[in-house]
Structure 1
Amino acid sequence: MADTPVEEALWDEFHRVVNMSSRELGEWLRTRSAADRTEELPDQAGTETGQHVLAILGKRKTDLNDDDVRVMRKVVDRVHGERRDDLEPTAGQANWRHRLMTIGHDPLKA
């Protein structure tokens, strides 16, 4: 088995807190970035972290690199910092929900 820089626990927790599919996240990033004019590069819409999460969702664990692992830790820490550990569906202010959705976590989703 090839060495991977990600621990099993981080892999599992990242996929638990990122509860949006890659399709949902991609659509959200394009929607969130939409302005009065057409997005010039719709596949690059959204924040750098959001795009990185989207890329990670498309990778196998063995294909991850150290930068991916850093982003995974950042996302897990951020979601846990703003949510309870049980991640039960929780309503809150729209801007709070939208910030979390930008990194792949929808607080209203089970």
Structure 2
Amino acid sequence: MSDDDDTTTETEFREVVTMAPAELERWLDTEESRSVGQSDGGESTGHRSGRRIVEILRTKKADLTEADRAHMRKVVGYVRRHLAQRPQGDVSETRWRYSLMNCGHDPLD
């Protein structure tokens, strides 16, 4: 990938990930966070992704790997698709919001 592509990935990731690392970590420790997402009996995919997002947010730009950037692109795509499926009404205590928050995006902020 080119430097322009990397910059675009990083910019888009920072736009969709609206939660600070510490805020996301606190969220991931809640029952609500663990209650959503596809799982094979263990940790859900979204919850695992949230932990990876915290690591990426705490990584210096120069130290980001191509695997980090690939995950960042995946998160951007997921958040954008999920936002397009917003349910009607109050979403403050919905699985839809909780799933987005596992990816570091709180749609109420």
**TM-score after normalising by structure 1:** 0.72
Are the counterparts in 2 of residues 97 and 107 from structure 1 also a CA contact under 8 Å? yes
Task: Give the letter aligned to residue 103 of structure 2.
Answer: I
* Secondary structure of 1:70's aligned partner: helix
Partner residue of 1:94? 94
| Number of equivalent positions | 91
Are the counterparts in 2 of residues 22 and 54 from structure 1 also a CA contact under 8 Å? yes
5+ residue gaps, structure 2: 36-45
State the alpha-carbon separation in 1 of the partners of residues 74 and 52 from structure 2: 11
CA 1:69–1:91 in 2, change beyond 3 Å: closer, same or farther? farther
How big is each residue's C-alpha offset from its partner over 1:53-93, in whole Å with a ceiling of 9 and x where there is no partner? Answer: 00000011111112111110010001111225xxxxx9536
State the alpha-carbon separation in 1 of the partners of residues 24 and 94 from structure 2: 17
1:12 is the counterpart of 2:11: yes
Q: Which runs of 4+ in 1 moved over 6 A?
A: none
Computed over aligned residues only, the root mean square deviation of the Cα atoms, in angstroms, reads 2.6
Structure with higher helix content: 2
Are the counterparts in 2 of residues 91 and 108 from structure 1 also a CA contact under 8 Å? no
Partner residue of 1:26? 25
CA 1:96–1:66 in 2, change beyond 3 Å: closer, same or farther? same
